[in-house]
């Protein structure tokens, strides 16, 4: 460690890719530990990422965050709480200046909190001179944002909900390396700007008011098992079926929340139909949608140009982003 590093003004830099869940996390077991009510399975991306620099500076009275060139005082408490998990056990009291940049739209359902907290943990680890295990990184990142526990790792990743009262078994692990099944993702951007109801308050509201929330939780073990087998066998059709089913169940539970959470717009629905038509025509592609209106079409590499051509023509699609599967969070 290195309290001395920190008081000298330790600096760390890291990059972490966004991830999209194929079997989703929606609902918490414990809000303080930020443990999920259900496990999840995701893919980490290579071209959508967050770059973060952290500087521990003894002259600062509190932590500071600059995201995409703007000060974000409203987000500092979450950053401080996550950094305290690394600082407090080591007696570090130095505050930090965090400068982060997403190379993709922030807060629009493109997993910016996942890449953001994964990059923060890796950068802070370097700045403080720590040598955490991958599991420790994932546990700290989880307490920043549940999905961030997965962005610590590359390729296909599974997050365990865990049962321990201290959250020590609630972490992610790699399932399959990115190059072992090199799927690609075409993202149809159907709205820009930050979403109104973030995942955190949305999922909390669903858990307390959606009549479908208990059914959502009850089905997750089976969906995780099906997806695990499909990934191990590189069985695209099986993964497509379970991922779309799981996504629609999450959104059904969200829509039945009071007040309702309808994350989709008209173009979201058109994209969903376009992807289903493509698959019916034999194109290996399926959709997933998170807490926002963007549609993520996951496909085999040979199908990407066809998927792009079809989604580009859907009315209301503003932009397309593409990505391969990528590595875990790493110092830069």
Positions that interact with ligand DP6 (CB under 6 A): 21, 24-26, 34, 40, 113, 145-147, 199-200, 290-291
Could you tell me if 228 and 158 are in contact, meaning their C-beta atoms sit under 8 angstroms apart?
yes
What's the closest the beta carbon of residue 113 comes to ligand DP6, in angstroms?
A: 5
| Residue 45 φ/ψ, nearest 5 degrees | -105, 155
Question: CA-to-CA distance for 75 and 189, rounded, in angstroms?
Answer: 25
Distant-in-sequence contacts of 303-309, Cβ < 8 A, 24+ apart:
303/278, 304/184, 304/186, 306/278, 307/186, 307/275, 307/278, 307/283, 308/186
Which of 125/290 has CB closer to ligand DP6?
Answer: 290
What's the closest the beta carbon of residue 224 comes to ligand DP6, in angstroms?
A: 12
**Strand bridging mode 11-23 / 40-56:** antiparallel
**Strand bridging mode 64-67 / 96-102:** parallel
Which of 57/290 has CB closer to ligand DP6?
Answer: 290
Which of 20/181 has CB closer to ligand DP6?
Answer: 20
Which of 34/323 has CB closer to ligand DP6?
Answer: 34
What's the closest the beta carbon of residue 177 comes to ligand DP6, in angstroms?
A: 20
Which of 56/171 has CB closer to ligand DP6?
Answer: 171
Burial class (CB in 10 A: 0-12, 13-18, 19+), 241: middle
Segment holding 203, helix H or strand E: helix 199-209
What's the closest the beta carbon of residue 317 comes to ligand DP6, in angstroms?
A: 20
Which of 41/278 has CB closer to ligand DP6?
Answer: 41
Question: CA-to-CA distance for 293 and 172, rounded, in angstroms?
Answer: 26
What's the closest the beta carbon of residue 323 comes to ligand DP6, in angstroms?
A: 15
What's the closest the beta carbon of residue 315 comes to ligand DP6, in angstroms?
A: 25
């Amino acid at each position: 460690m290195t309290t001395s590093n920190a008081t000298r003004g330790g600096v760390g830099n890291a990059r972490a890719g966004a991830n999209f869940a194929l079997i989703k996390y929606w609902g918490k077991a414990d809000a303080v530990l930020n443990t999920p009510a259900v496990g999840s399975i995701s893919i980490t991306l290579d071209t959508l990422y967050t770059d973060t620099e952290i500087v521990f500076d003894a002259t600062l009275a509190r932590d500071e965050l600059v995201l995409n060139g703007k000060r974000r005082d409203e987000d500092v408490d979450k950053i401080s709480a996550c950094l305290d998990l690394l600082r407090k056990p080591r007696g570090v009291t130095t505050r930090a200046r965090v400068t982060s940049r997403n190379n993709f739209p922030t807060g629009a359902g493109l997993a910016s909190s996942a890449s953001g907290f994964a990059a923060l943990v890796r950068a802070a680890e370097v700045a403080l001179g720590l040598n955490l295990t991958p599991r420790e990184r994932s546990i700290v990142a989880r307490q920043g944002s549940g999905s961030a526990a997965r962005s610590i790792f590359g390729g296909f990743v599974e997050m365990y909900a865990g049962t321990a009262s201290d959250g020590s078994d609630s972490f992610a692990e790699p399932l399959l390396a990115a190059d072992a099944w090199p799927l690609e993702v075409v993202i149809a951007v159907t709205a820009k700007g930050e979403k109104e109801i973030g995942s955190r308050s949305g999922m909390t509201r669903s858990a307390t008011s959606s009549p479908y929330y208990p059914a959502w939780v009850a089905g997750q073990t089976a969906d995780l098992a099906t997806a695990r087998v499909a990934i191990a066998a590189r069985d695209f059709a099986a993964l497509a079926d379970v991922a779309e089913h799981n996504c629609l169940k999450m959104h059904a539970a969200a829509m039945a929340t009071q007040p309702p959470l309808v994350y989709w717009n008209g173009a979201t629905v058109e994209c969903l139909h376009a992807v289903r038509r493509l698959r019916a025509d034999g194109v290996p592609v399926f959709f997933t949608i998170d807490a926002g209106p963007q549609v993520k079409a996951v496909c085999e590499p040979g199908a990407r140009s066809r998927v792009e051509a079809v989604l580009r023509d859907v009315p209301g699609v503003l932009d397309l982003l593409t990505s391969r599967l990528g590595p875990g969070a790493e110092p830069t």
